Structure 1
Amino acid sequence: MTDETIRRETTKFLHEQIPITKAMGVEVESIAGGSLVLTAPLAANHNHLGTAFGGSLGAIATLAGYGLLWLQLGDRSAHIVIKSSSLRYLHPVRGGIRAVCKAPDGELLAEFKAAFAKKDKARIRLVVTIEEDDRVCVEFEGEYVAMR
């Protein structure tokens, strides 16, 4: 399966399973090197100041971690939920939203997958950044749980 096919299928999955993603205009920009990049237009996600709405920033950051785990597990029957999260808003986002979730350390990811395979449940902490013009505007950290 090509990266383009995976990108399109992941966007479709998010729109079907989490309807707010379609309203937000969320798209998968890239899946490369174990990382996932999601984008959304400012037009559908702005606040009264013309910058990105904090709730949209939190939602797309949460989705980036969710999407990365969905892809990494490759198990479409897995249920992935967010257990806890924290956000730091460093700078306003004045243009399109771009959320980057880099795959965790290979050993940590392997432990997560092994625990999921053995116990049908595993948890992992992921970091997502929302970036604009090579500047980190939002830092997100979330603990996710995958279960069958």
Structure 2
Amino acid sequence: MTPQELLAKLNRDIPVSKFLGFEFVEATPNRVEIRARLNENINHKGTAFGGSLYTLSVLAAYSLVYLGVECEKIKTNNLVIQKGDIQYMKPVTSDFDIICEFNGVEAYQKFYEDLARWKKVREVIKVRVYCQGVLCAKLDGVFVVQL
């Protein structure tokens, strides 16, 4: 699936994604990077709105897991975030990047092996938000996939 196809899928299935002013820089089963514009996500202080940072972080993690499910040819429509904890460390003052990746090949393989074996997997997916190369927020999202 190309980044453009993934964006179209999100826009269709998760309509709020149409309004968040972002694009995929990279979209693979191992790594997702989103570039988002401050303009569409700005708050009254001239910085990124926390709700936008949270939503975009969840979309990045969802996309990572969705792409893995597709790559591994797993048939399920049951992929959800169960819990999300976000820390806002610094204000986001310009366009920003959101990066989400598995912690190595072993973590990726274990995730999908556990899903095949147990028909359900629950895993913390870590997402980082950067502005001008500085870490500004981080999300730990518990994602559940069930067959």
TM over 0.5: yes
Provide the residue aligned with 2:89 in structure 1.
Answer: 90
1:34 corresponds, among 26, 30, 44, to 30
Are 2:136 and 1:137 equivalent residues in the alignment? yes
Report if aligned partners of 2:35, 2:97 keep a CA contact under 8 Å in 1.
Answer: yes
Report if aligned partners of 1:58, 1:87 keep a CA contact under 8 Å in 2.
Answer: yes
Q: Identity over the aligned pairs, expressed in percent?
A: 28
2:21 corresponds, among 22, 25, 28, to 25
Task: Report the more deviating stretch, 28-37 or 13-22.
Answer: 28-37
2:6 corresponds, among 6, 10, 15, to 10
Are 2:117 and 1:118 equivalent residues in the alignment? yes
Offset, 1:118: 2.8
Query: 1:18 and 1:39 mapped to 2: Cα distance?
Result: 18
SS, match of residue 66 in structure 1? helix
| Aligned CA distance change for structure 1 residues 33 and 118 (closer, same or farther; 3 Å) | closer
Offset, 1:116: 1.6
Number of residue-to-residue matches in the alignment: 144
Query: 1:36 and 1:106 mapped to 2: Cα distance?
Result: 15
Offset, 1:122: 0.9
Offset, 1:49: 0.6
Query: 1:77 and 1:28 mapped to 2: Cα distance?
Result: 23
Task: Report the more deviating stretch, 87-96 or 113-122.
Answer: 113-122
Could you list the runs of 5+ residues in structure 2 that have no partner in the other structure? none
Offset, 1:132: 1.1
Could you list the runs of 5+ residues in structure 1 that have no partner in the other structure? none
2:64 corresponds, among 54, 64, 68, to 68
Are 2:53 and 1:57 equivalent residues in the alignment? yes
Q: 1:27-48, CA deviations, whole angstroms, 9 ceiling, x for partnerless residues?
A: 2121368210112211111100
Query: 1:56 and 1:64 mapped to 2: Cα distance?
Result: 12
Task: Report the more deviating stretch, 104-113 or 56-65.
Answer: 104-113
Show structure 1 runs of 4+ deviating over 4 A: none
After superposition, the CA RMSD in angstroms is 1.7
TM-score of the two chains, using structure 1 as the length reference = 0.88
